[in-house]
Amino acid sequence: MADVTSSEPSGAVSSTPLVGGIANATIGVAPTGMTAAPLPARIRASMLLRCFAIQGSWNYEILGGNGLGFCVEPALRQLPGGVDGDAYKQALARQCGYFNAHPYLASLAVGSLARAELDRTPPDKILRFRTALCGPLGSLGDRLVWAAWLPACSLVALLLFGFGWGPLGVAVGFLILYNIGHVALRAWGLGAGWLYGMRLASALSARWLQLGPQYIGRGAALVAGIALPFASHRAIGGGPILDPVPLAVVALTPCLALLLVRLHGKVEGWQLLFGLLAILVLYSTVVL
């Protein structure tokens, strides 16, 4: 669907579970023997705020590595010697190396890596753990957010439009719905990362994370089916459905959609639509 320009995409959509290990982990409760001293609220708030800019310096040299270091940095100030100490500098340097994951689930990495650094885990172990996180966090986040939650919220917004909601209601409704999931996921990730530390597999094997995309996808598909006819009808101006133009829309839309499904991988829908609209412009302005 997208033109990949790098060999390191954050992940691909897959329906297989990504992380084995402890299933049914209870969110917010540390497994036996895992007690973490709470992060001071000010540092936690600073890290969470920085997580919203984790992709601010994303580049083809170290991908999101600098962003990860930027997010972990407030916690590293707790290391012996503070910002001028060797421990701080070595830890910050480790966290700024090559890293790539889904931006929302990267907060899990931020929390767990901050905990690992403050627990004074051996550096080689931290680096191995850090590298191992990229694949699962990228793949799981892509499935959960980009391929499920975001389209689901878009489709709900289209449904609201189809039901006659005004501009403010549709836009604000979409933003509230989407960001409930977005902000909650980032906040949960930071907390769970800190709580589980380097035993993050337990958090990642939670049922809601593994099965969430599937349930959201099913709901969104049903909503999409209802939303598209309503939204299309309103966007052409309403009116009797049995008039020639609405009937033509009803007849032609599935045919064109099927053609696009058949052409999957060869042409994008927006490319085809651009070509069709160019023909329409020529017809309406030159031919008529």
Backbone angles phi and psi of 213, in degrees to 5: -55, -40
d(CA 208, CA 274) in angstroms, rounded, equals: 39
Among residues 18, 44, 48, 70, which is the contact residue for another protein, using CB under 8 A? 70
Based on CB atoms, which residue is closest to another protein, 30 or 224? 224
Cβ–Cβ < 8 Å for 92, 29: no
Among residues 31, 36, 43, 52, which is the contact residue for another protein, using CB under 8 A? 52
Q: Residues in contact with another protein, total (CB under 8 A)?
A: 122
Based on CB atoms, which residue is closest to another protein, 106 or 195? 106
Encoded tokens for 184: 């909650």
d(CA 22, CA 210) in angstroms, rounded, equals: 12
**157 lines the binding site for another protein (CB under 8 A):** yes
Based on CB atoms, which residue is closest to another protein, 92 or 204? 92
Among residues 166, 180, 184, 207, which is the contact residue for another protein, using CB under 8 A? 166
Among residues 151, 187, 199, 201, which is the contact residue for another protein, using CB under 8 A? 151
**55 lines the binding site for another protein (CB under 8 A):** yes
Encoded tokens for 165: 């909601």
Report, in Å, the least distance between residue 285 CB and another protein.
4
Which residue bears the tokens 């769970």?
Answer: 192
Beta bridge partners of 153: none
**228 lines the binding site for another protein (CB under 8 A):** yes
Stretch binding another protein (CB under 8 A), from 22-30, 113-121, 124-132, 237-245: 237-245
Report, in Å, the least distance between residue 255 CB and another protein.
8
Report, in Å, the least distance between residue 92 CB and another protein.
4
**23 lines the binding site for another protein (CB under 8 A):** no
d(CA 225, CA 35) in angstroms, rounded, equals: 47
In the 8-state DSSP scheme, what is residue 52?
A: T
- Exposed, middle or buried by CB within 10 Å (0-12, 13-18, 19+), for 249? middle
Residues 177-216 that bind another protein (CB under 8 A): 178-179, 182, 213-214
Whose CA is closest to 192, among 131, 104, 121, 120?
Answer: 104
Q: Is residue 99 classed as helix, strand or coil in its secondary structure?
A: strand
**63 lines the binding site for another protein (CB under 8 A):** yes
Beta bridge partners of 99: 63
**276 lines the binding site for another protein (CB under 8 A):** yes
Beta bridge partners of 63: 59, 99
**176 lines the binding site for another protein (CB under 8 A):** no
**13 lines the binding site for another protein (CB under 8 A):** yes
**21 lines the binding site for another protein (CB under 8 A):** no
d(CA 251, CA 255) in angstroms, rounded, equals: 7
**83 lines the binding site for another protein (CB under 8 A):** yes
Among residues 18, 19, 96, 203, which is the contact residue for another protein, using CB under 8 A? 96
